[in-house]
Amino acid sequence: MKIALGADHGGYTLKEQIKKHLEGKGHEVVDLGAHSTESVDYPEFGRAVGEAVVEGKADRGVVVCGTGIGISIAANKVKGVRAALCTNTTMARLTREHNDANVLAIGARMVGDVLALEMVDTFLTTEFEGGRHANRVAKIEGEEKKGGCSCGGNCH
């Protein structure tokens, strides 16, 4: 599987651990930065990973910042991205099964590295269940097509 990775300075060290872990399992990694612990802005990395996934340059994405919150918000601004901030393996499994999430967000300062790697593995090996969940994901995508507002896209 081809995985896009992105992190700000707060997530850099964990991103590097995830990269090594994924490569060790035979995955192809697209490292979109950051490439050091020097202070950078997380929105550019969330966007870069989101775009890579939506454009088909990666099958799924993983984004990391200090809390995972900011970078997940940034990734979700890319049309077609369903980024989920997870703090345990149950959340990582359910966001794939129920939400067909295509980007996993992790807070490097919120979870330990062993748990983070377990979440990544769970996220990548869990399939979308479809069924009733497909209808819900379609509704999310429908809102996105309307621009996310109740006007049906007429206000833009």
Q: In the chain, what are the domain boundaries?
A: 2-129
Specify binding-site residues for D-ribulose 5-phosphate: 8-9, 66-70, 99, 109, 132, 136
What are the tens digits of pLDDT across the range 61-82? 999 999 999 999 999 999 999 9
Q: Which residue has the higher pLDDT, 144 or 23?
A: 23
User: What is the rounded end-to-end Cα distance, in angstroms, of the chain?
Assistant: 37
Residues contacting 151, CB < 8 A, separation 6+: none
Among the listed residues 64, 16, 9, the one whose alpha carbon sits nearest the alpha carbon of residue 39: 9
Q: In the CATH scheme, what is the homologous superfamily, with its name and number, of domain 2-129?
A: Sugar-phosphate isomerase, RpiB/LacA/LacB (3.40.1400.10)
Active site residues: 65, 98
Question: What's residue 49's pLDDT?
Answer: 98
Question: What's residue 29's pLDDT?
Answer: 98
What is the Cα gyration radius of the chain?
15
Specify binding-site residues: 8-9, 66-70, 99, 109, 132, 136
Question: What's residue 120's pLDDT?
Answer: 99
Count CB-CB contacts under 10 A for residue 37.
12
